[in-house]
Structure 1
Amino acid sequence: MFLAEEAAQAASKFDSFDIFVILFTIVIAIGVVRLLSAAKKNPFAIGFGSISLIVFLIMDVVMVMNWMDKL
């Protein structure tokens, strides 16, 4: 019984929203790279995209640490 409860707790750490967070991080990273490589640079878009990328990367790190029980 104890092992079943422990397995249920481990399974509950992963949420289906985690997949979307990782996908949004990838999309934001692609956007920031494209903004930085563009001929005509938009400083506001580069700043907004960079801050968004930093926030999502921190969120990814916290999410993965929660999966590994490091948090």
Structure 2
Amino acid sequence: MFLAANAAEESTSTFTPFDVFMVIFTVLLVIGLVRLVMSSGKKNVFAIGFTLVALVVFLIADVKMVSGW
């Protein structure tokens, strides 16, 4: 009986409503990065670098988060 309860606990989903916001923020970062790179004139290298770092962090968090669903 204990093993069945343990198996049921392991199969539960770790989905939370906050996960949706994480995915939305990741999409917003991608849109922002595309707009920064595609802008005409002088490019803001600091903003592009900062967005790239934030995007990498959010993508890693998304992959870890989705793997638990």
Q: TM-score range by the shorter chain?
A: 0.7 to 0.9
2:26 is aligned to: 25
1:1-16 matches, cutoff 5 A: 6=8, 10-11=12-13, 13-16=14-17
Q: TM-score, normalised by structure 1?
A: 0.79
Which portions of structure 1, spanning 4 or more consecutive aligned residues, are displaced by more than 6 angstroms?
A: none
1:54 is aligned to: 56
Q: TM-score, normalised by structure 2?
A: 0.81
Larger RCO (alpha carbons 8 Å, 6+ apart) = 2
C-alpha RMSD of matched pairs (Å):
2.2
Structure with max Cα Rg? 2
Question: How many residues matched?
Answer: 65
- Paired-residue identity, %: 46
The answer for unaligned runs of 5 or more in structure 2 is none
| Deviation of 1:6 (Å) | 2.5
